[in-house]
Amino acid sequence: MRHIITVLFSLCLVFMAATVGSAGESLVDTVAKGCEKELNSFCANVTPGEGRILACLYAHGDKLSGQCEYALYDAAVQLERAVAALSYLANECDADLEKYCSSVTPGQGRLIDCLDKNSKNISKRCKKAIEDVGLK
């Protein structure tokens, strides 16, 4: 089970970097554009990283515009879908990851690259999951 969580987290990071919203923007860009006024007004002095920007927006939640609230909601929905897709992928590919990629350090797309390099050997279930989530 711990292996699935590690894989899921690593795949989630890769997927989040590649995930785009309805306008073709990354989730970060969606929030940055939708909350530009709030970020400049309330969070300009906040050092980015470790969730501090989101914490700042949360702290000023009663002052957020409808546009910013929608951008945050949209990003949350997209992220929820991404996590569900990656959970499916991790479950379907767990045996293949264990068999072919156990020596690969998770992160920076290395697990997906490993599955790709072993594509002739991985299970049909894993191949289908990779296709279903749009990673191939």
Sorting pLDDT into bands at 50, 70 and 90, what band is 122? very high
Spell out the domain ranges in the chain. Answer: 2-132
Taking the C-alpha atoms of residue 126 and residue 96, their distance in angstroms, rounded to an integer, is 7
Q: Which residues contact 64 (CB under 8 A, 6 or more apart)?
A: 35, 38, 57, 72
Mean pLDDT on 31-45? 92
- What's the predicted TM-score (pTM) here? 0.64
Percent of the chain with pLDDT over 70: 81
Mean pLDDT on 118-124? 94
pLDDT tens profile 57-74: 889 989 999 999 998 888
pLDDT tens profile 9-28: 445 555 555 555 444 567 78
Taking the C-alpha atoms of residue 110 and residue 85, their distance in angstroms, rounded to an integer, is 18
Top-confidence residue, 112 or 10: 112
Top-confidence residue, 18 or 117: 117
Sorting pLDDT into bands at 50, 70 and 90, what band is 2? very low
Q: Which position has the token pair 């279930």?
A: 125
